[in-house]
Amino acid sequence: MKRIRTAKGRKVSSTRWLERQLNDPYVRRAKAENYRSRAAYKLLELDEKFGLLKGVKAVVDLGITPGGWSQVVRRRTPQASVVGIDLLPTDPIDGVTIFQMDFMDESAPDRLKEALGGQADLVLSDMAANTVGHQQTDHLRTMALVEAGLLFATEVLRPGGAYVAKVLAGGADNQLVAEMKRHFTTVKHAKPPASRKDSSEWYVIAQGFKSEYPIIDKELHDYR
């Protein structure tokens, strides 16, 4: 195990983070296989379990930065076009249209839909709200992103499509799961091995989009 001496001016927490990075097999593997982040293996593992990328031709990547998930999509399904969005800048990826803007901006969904030029097979959301250290507040902020992603997914997915989103420990709340089950054939939670054991992140995987159901409004209990 590699250890780093605590440099002058460096916090102990920063030193521990560096040690964890250096000793993380997924970090080493990502560097060796030219993935931008270890997060790529979370999607690879979810794909192995749920077959998310089989036959997909159009994918939306919400919270794309640094681009590991889109790299996985393009490598596994080179024919797929990908549209991504993030507040942070993202280096270009072949076959991927990237918008640097807030997904919660009112104009963002329309920008993504225009770039798609049609329906999507898969909507991926690795978005995470900035945590404030208050468990209930952090949970609510994260669920707001998941709900926004779900609304968008119901508007762009083709029949049979899938929506995958990051949630916190405990998964999506009962109301959100119930809403997903109205629109998808199966809804499951998973924590891929690449997610660190001490991380609170899980993923909710909704597959088999039922396009015959009404599209949800921004409030989960209101319908068009």
Catalytic residue among 8, 166, 181, 218: 166
Residue 11 belongs to a domain: no
pTM check: above 0.75: yes
pLDDT for 17 beyond 50: no
Could you tell me which residues are annotated as the binding site?
Answer: 67, 69, 86, 102, 126
Residue 133 belongs to a domain: yes
Residue 3 belongs to a domain: no
Residue 125 belongs to a domain: yes
Query: What are the angstrom distances between the C-alpha of 152 and each of 110, 162, 174?
Result: 10, 12, 20
- According to the model, what pLDDT value does residue 40 have? 96
pLDDT digits 0-9 by tens, 59-71: 999 999 999 999 9
State how many domains the chain has.
Answer: 1
pLDDT for 26 beyond 70: yes
How far is Cα 10 from Cα 137, in angstroms, rounded to an integer? 29
How far is Cα 97 from Cα 223, in angstroms, rounded to an integer? 31
- Catalytic site includes residue 8: no
- According to the model, what pLDDT value does residue 140 have? 79
pLDDT digits 0-9 by tens, 101-139: 999 999 999 999 999 999 999 999 999 877 666 667 677
Domain extent at residue 101: 39-209
Residue 215 belongs to a domain: no
Of 157, 150, 207, 163, nearest to 184 by C-alpha is 207
216 alpha carbon, distance to own chain's centre: 20
Residue 126 belongs to a domain: yes
Residue 13 belongs to a domain: no
Q: Residue 180 in contact with residue 207, Cβ under 8 Å?
A: no
pLDDT digits 0-9 by tens, 48-99: 999 999 999 999 999 999 999 999 999 999 999 999 999 999 999 999 999 9
pLDDT digits 0-9 by tens, 187-220: 999 999 998 787 888 999 999 999 865 555 444 4
Residue 27 belongs to a domain: no
Kindly state the DSSP code that residue 92 receives in the 8-state scheme: -
How far is Cα 175 from Cα 16, in angstroms, rounded to an integer? 38
Could you tell me which residues are annotated as the binding site for S-adenosyl-L-methionine?
Answer: 67, 69, 86, 102, 126
How far is Cα 167 from Cα 160, in angstroms, rounded to an integer? 22
98's tokens:
């990237």
CATH number, domain containing residue 129: 3.40.50.150
The partner residues of 59 in beta bridges, in order of sequence, read 82, 122
